[in-house]
Every structure is written in C-alpha cells, then in structure tokens.
Chains A and B, each alone.
Chain A
Amino acid sequence: MSIIEFENVTFRYESDEEGVVLSPAVKDFSLSVNEGEFIAILGHNGSGKSTLAKLANGLLLPESGDVIVDGMNTKNEDDDIKIKQTVGVVFQNPDNQIVATIVEEDVAFGPENLGIEPSEIRRRVDEALKTVGMYEYRKHGPHKLSGGQKQRVAIAGIIAMEPRCIILDEPTAMLDPIGRRDVMKAIKRLNRELGITVVFITHYMEEACEADRIVVMDDAHLLMDGTPKDVFSNPEKIRSIGLDVPQTCQLAELLRKDGIKLKNDLLSIDELVENIDVLLKGQ
C-alpha cells in the first residue's frame, strides 16, 4: 500500500529576477513510498531532494504531475490539513522549528492546532517525548538544549500529531557526532517499533545504509532506486554524481581486486569484519 505517490512530478522555484526562468528542481519524478518502509533519499545539494520533502505534504504544489498522499491529492485544498497530519516533516535547522518557550508546550503545538481534546494532547505529548528520549526535559526552555536534543523535540512535535509517515530533511546535517547518533536512534525507533513510514533525506552514506531502500537523486532526476546493497554495488555511478561509497565498500573493492574473495554486497562494518573473520579462519 503506497502512502505517498509521486506521479511524474515537475517543480521549479520562482526566480527573484524579472523574466528569468529557473531550471526545474524536480523533473518528471515518480516514486511510490510504501507504508512501513524506511527509505533514504541520497543526493548532493541541489539534486532536488529537499524539494521532495516539501512536495510530499503539500507545502509546495507540483507544476505538473501529482502527489497523492493516502489517496488524497495535495492540490486539493480541502484535504490540506489531513494531508499535513498524515505526512509530517522535520527540517534541517533544529532552532527554526521550535515555537514555544517550554518543550512540552512546543510538542503540544501540532495536536492543539488539530483541535484535539486537552487530556488526549497531554497523553500524546508525554508518549512522544518518551519515544525520543526527551521526557525529562519537558519543562525546560528550548534554547538551553543541544542541537541533537532540539531536533528530537522537533521530531516529538511531529509524532504527537500521530502521522503515518515522517519525512526528515537532512535532520543531522547541523549536528555533532553525538547529536547525530541520538537522532538516528530515535528515527530508527519510529520505524522499527512504531511502524511509522520514514523518508530520510541525507548526504551521509553511513546514515543512508541504515535504510531498507535508497533512492538516489541527481540533477532533479531519480537516478537509482534499490536496496543499499544494490545501490552501492555500483560505485562508479555513485562517484560520478559527486557522492562517495562507504569506506567499507571501498576497502572490499580493493581487496577483491587482489583476488581476496570477499562477498559482493558488503556494506556495514560488522558485515565486513565478519566476512574477513570467516575468510581468515577458513584457512
């Protein structure tokens, strides 16, 4: 069952200058996001991946083609609120998503806008904060939190609306290693434990490898769509668009060239270490 359907979507931004037409940010793009999936969208800056996030919940409308969310077309104004409640979006800058002066009040913002009854909001807010591991900070002011903590609060604010799908647009780009790790942990929980569909836009290879499926964008087009192993088994193509394969893949490639029979689809550190171990013990 597809939760978001991109059908031949084209979108271009308006230029600030008179009479100038910008080239499309997204061109003839089609993709089916299935319920429960964990998809990573990979691409360098300017490939169109961030635009996809805003098209997915109707923040931007396609110039041609359609975006269908759970059967609703984003062009239909009447479904606007329902669509935004179904597909939540978390952006890159943790600061510019927090609206209230106290953490729990910010998380309550979404449900409050939906007119949900106060005791239910309370329940959702507490649940959401516990899921992202920020419950003990519920009465704190947001400006004292670290980047990773703020980003988790932003995620909690979306979960509190009980969406079916969450799109995260480069959520870790501005964070330090600890913040990145904590946010990745929270996101994986959302998908593995709560069954929420996750669309994760990034340019970090290691993060993309955590997903079930990787979609690679290049120059407004969809270039590749497959499992992480499929995608990284073609390192030349990846490198040609300015991205890099994980170091584990590079290492395996070099060793394979020397005749060492490592598996073709090694991706994670543990897989590589296991395979090396097996080969060495096999003697």
Chain B
Amino acid sequence: MSHLETQNLTYVYGAGTPFKITALDNVNINIEKGEFVAIIGHTGSGKSTLVQHLNGLLKPTNGEILLDGESIHKSKSTLFDARFKVGLCFQYPEYQLFESTVYKDIAFGPYNMGLTVAEIDERVRSAAKYVGIPDEMLSKSPFDLSGGEKRRVAIAGVISMEPEILILDEPTSGLDPRGREQILELIKNYREKTGKTVIIVSHSMDDVARFATKVIVMNESNVEKIGTVDEIFENSSRLREIGLSVPQITDVFIKLREKGYPVSEKVYTVEQGYLELKKLFEGRGIS
C-alpha cells in the first residue's frame, strides 16, 4: 500500500479575483514506504506548495491527500497526526530557531506532541546524534552557533518528532561544497539507520542523483515525469529546458551526442562518464 499519495491535487491562490494563480494543477503522486524521493522543479513549479500540502499545512482547493490510505483532512485529529507523522523542514531552517538553548529548540516539536519529559529527552538526544551535534552544544544558545551548525539543529528539530516521512525543502541551499556533502551524508545516514521515507525538494539534480530511488519532476504546476534517476536522465536536455541544473558531466555527454557519438545520455556521475568514454575509446581501438 502506498504510504503517502495525492489524488487530483489542485491548489489555486486568489480564486475569484483577477489575480488567480494555479499553483498545482491535478497533481497525482504516490510515495511508498522507505523510498528516497526527490521532488525537483524550477522556482515556481509548485514543488514547495506541494510539500506544504503533504503535512496538512495547506488545504487543497480540489483533490485529496492520503496518508496510509486515509485522507489527512478527514478530521481535526487526522490533521493533527499528519502534522507530526509528516515532518516538514523548510528552506533555510536556521532562520526559525528561537529557543534559549539548542536542547529546548529541538524539544519544541515533541513538546507540542504532548510527550512526557522523559520521552522528550530521549528524542532530543537521539535527533542530536543523527545530525552530529555533540552533547556540549545542547546547552548553548542556538544564536551562538555557526550557520552550518544552526541548520543541523533545525533539522534535528524536525527529526525529533520521529516522523514517518521526513521532507526537506532544499536542505543544501546556500552551503559550500563541504557543507552540502555534510548535509547529504547526514540525510543518507538517517535513512539507512531508520529505514524511513525521505523526500528532498531541490532544483539541482547534482544533489539527488546519487541517492534518490524515485524522482518526481515538477514543471509549471504539473507533474512532468516520475521515474528512477536513470529514467529521468533519459532526456537530460529537457531537464535544462525546464530550468533545472544538471551535473556538468551530463552536459558533456549531451554535447557528445550532438556531435553524433553513440554515447548514453544517462550519465550523471564522473564514474559513469569514465566507463562510457572508455567503451567509446576502446571501440575505436584507442587504449
């Protein structure tokens, strides 16, 4: 059974006024338990609006969101549950920290869930471990931390709710290569240890090519394509057309294909590129 799905999801801003905008148009997606999903799309494609529906923050104009087969808007209690079962971490989450200590900020979610002090403590410490925050940092003020540390605290604040599905909206934005690696490793590690469903929203295929088991491509309020990373890269030139960035290596192979060479378009890592070119050179007798 699907873990989370949307059926004919449509969302319109300013209905009935001259400023009507259709942010989502009949979106149907299906996410299974344990998948590592990437939702990619250009700015304004609707991807952020989509994920805000998944935890019930936004209510659809039309259509339904089903968690474990049940509509999350069925009742106040299903909505309340959805809020914590689907943990949504926004872009630049470090700008939402507010508590006097890191510990208290991470505890905010569990506290709102109505857990006991002992349960909250266990969750905070466990979440802190996942994001690599040492014990000494728990008593510090979040405002005294570096940008990268703040971001990890903010992510811990969502992990501490122990959601069944973790959604991260552009978790690597604004970070340098080292920072990006750290965050992506952290996410990969979390998923491996917990086996939970993870959704990353991004406009960069670089980030997600390595990890995603399923990719949902959004374009202009619609779902353009759903598939594995390989399937999505079948038409990599299209990805650039719709405002996404592809790995440099993919560009190399698009250009080689344009020159008439029979190389695969499905290249998104250096290793794949190397193997593909090795084949090509050996085929021509060059070693």
Contacts and interface: CB of A to CB of B under 8 A. Distances in A.
Given A44-B178, A260-B286, A246 B248 contact: yes
Interface string A37-59: 00000001110000000000000
Interface string A126-161: 000000000000000000001100000000000000
A180 B203 CA distance: 12
Question: Interface residues of A: mostly helix, strand, loop or mixed?
Answer: helix
A255 B277 contact: yes
A16 B6 CA distance: 49
Interface stretch (B65-73, B97-105, B193-201, B252-260): B252-260
Nearest to A279: B286
Given A177-B204, A254-B270, A259-B287, A248 B174 contact: no
A230 B229 CA distance: 35
Interface in A167-199: 173-174, 176-180
B174 A173 contact: yes
A117 interface: no
A136 B170 CA distance: 31
Interface in B185-231: 203-204
B43 A146 contact: yes
A174 B277 contact: no
B281 A280 contact: yes
A203 B181 CA distance: 13
Interface string B167-182: 0000001111111000
Contact of A273 (B42, B259, B270, B274): B259
B278 to A, nearest CB: 7
A280 B252 contact: no
B243 A273 contact: no
B43 A283 contact: no
Contacts of A46: 146
A248 B173 CA distance: 23
Nearest to A178: B243
Interface in B228-262: 243-245, 247-249, 251-252, 255-256, 259, 261
A78 interface: no
Rank and list the top 7 A-B pairs by shortest CB-CB distance, nearest first. Answer: A177-B245, A203-B176, A247-B248, A242-B178, A254-B274, A247-B249, A273-B255
Interface of B: 42-43, 144, 146-148, 173-179, 203-204, 243-245, 247-249, 251-252, 255-256, 259, 261, 270, 273-274, 277-278, 280-281, 284-287
